[in-house]
Amino acid sequence: MGIVKTVIVMAGVICMLSAPAQADATNPVWRVYFSPQGGCTEAIEAELIGARSNIHVQAYSFTSEPIAKALLEAHKRGVVVKVILDKSQRTANYSSADFLAHAGIMTLVDDQHAIAHNKVMIIDDATVITGSFNFTKAAEFNNAENLLIIRDRTLTGQYQKNWELHAGHSHLYEGR
């Protein structure tokens, strides 16, 4: 199987992306994005729009209105959406925690760690979104961050087990 190589310019930075041409059992497909202004938010939105059955989120900081709205739209389409947030999101001035909880999306708070610093989305048991990219406007427009989208069911299963471990000790957030 060949490797697809793509050269793109994002915010004046040349990036080389390499990934297997097609996904199969031995060759997962992945894409990488870099901020600032590298299309991370739009890539996440596109994945959420394509979700068909479930989305599980772990987030340290979550203030991105476009991502929150994409999760709500998935929820309205019947996709099961569940979110785990760091305890700081309970009292943050700007957080999507209240928006999600009041929209009927199961929102949990992980307060069992000094910081629940994960930035993960698991979509349809087949795709993992991860990296340093916080789900925030600042991450998209101001910070130097990375986002990796991986289609690999084996890896997705490992992330799902970790998500369930954290959900097991998290507490329901009903909003303020």
Which residue in 39, 142, 122, 130 sits closest to 81, CA to CA?
122
Which of 69, 98, 111, 124 does the annotation list as catalytic? 124
Helix, strand, coil percentages in the chain from 3-state DSSP, rounded to 5: 30, 35, 35
CA distances to 9, 29, 53 from 17, rounded to whole Å, are 11, 11, 29
Pairwise CA distance, residues 150 & 129, whole Å: 6
Which of 56, 75, 119, 166 does the annotation list as catalytic? 119
Which residue in 68, 74, 162 sits closest to 123, CA to CA?
74
111 classed as catalytic: no
Residues 6+ apart with CB under 8 A from 102: 175
119 classed as catalytic: yes
Which of 69, 98, 111, 117 does the annotation list as catalytic? 117
Pairwise CA distance, residues 134 & 96, whole Å: 12
24 classed as catalytic: no
The pair of three-digit structure tokens given for residue 113, joined into one six-digit string: 């760690």
Please answer whether residues 106 and 83 qualify as being in contact, where contact means their C-beta atoms are separated by less than 8 angstroms. yes
Q: Which residues are catalytic?
A: 117, 119, 124
